[in-house]
C-alpha cells in the first residue's frame, strides 16, 4: 500500500523548522521561502532541529493534509550541507529518507542506452 498517491514532486526544505508550525505556518514557508505553489501535486517535507521529527504538507484536491513522523531513537539523515535551500527528491529518495538511508551517499547506476549500427 502506498502512503501518498500521485506524488508529482518531493521538495525538502533544508533548514530546520519550528515544529510548533502547522498547516498555515508551513504553507507560508512553501510560498515565501521555497517560492513554490501549494496546490501543485507535490509533497513539501520539513524537519526539526534535532532531525528526529518530520512533517509532510500536501494538497489532496479537497484540502491540506499534514503527515507527521517521530523517531524514537534514531535521526533522519537530513541533507543539511547542501547549497540549495530547497532540494528536489525523487519518490524513491523520499522513501529512502523515511527508512533512514543517507540520500546524499546514494547514487544509482548510470542508465546506459546502446544502439545497434546494423
Q: Which of 7-16, 28-37, 82-91, 105-114 has the lowest mean pLDDT?
A: 105-114
Give pLDDT, residue 1.
Answer: 41
Task: Give the residue, 2 or 83, on which the prediction is more confident.
Answer: 83
Determine if the pTM surpasses 0.85. no
Residue burial 78-91, b: 16+ Cβ < 10 Å; e: rest: bbeeeeeebbebee
Question: pLDDT (tens digit, 9 = 90+) per residue, 45-70?
Answer: 999 999 999 999 999 888 999 999 99
Give pLDDT, residue 3.
Answer: 62
Amino acid at each position: 500500500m502506498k502512503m501518498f498517491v500521485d506524488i508529482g514532486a518531493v521538495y525538502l526544505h533544508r533548514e530546520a523548522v519550528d515544529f510548533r508550525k502547522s498547516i498555515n505556518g508551513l504553507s507560508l514557508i512553501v510560498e515565501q521561502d521555497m517560492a513554490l505553489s501549494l496546490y501543485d501535486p507535490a509533497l513539501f517535507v520539513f524537519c526539526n532541529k534535532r532531525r528526529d521529527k518530520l512533517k509532510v504538507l500536501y494538497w489532496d484536491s479537497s484540502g491540506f493534509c499534514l503527515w507527521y513522523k517521530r523517531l524514537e531513537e534514531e535521526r533522519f539523515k537530513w541533507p543539511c550541507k547542501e547549497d540549495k535551500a530547497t532540494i528536489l527528491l525523487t519518490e524513491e529518495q523520499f522513501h529512502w529518507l523515511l527508512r533512514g538511508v543517507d540520500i546524499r551517499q546514494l547514487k544509482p547506476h548510470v542508465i546506459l542506452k546502446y544502439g545497434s549500427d546494423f
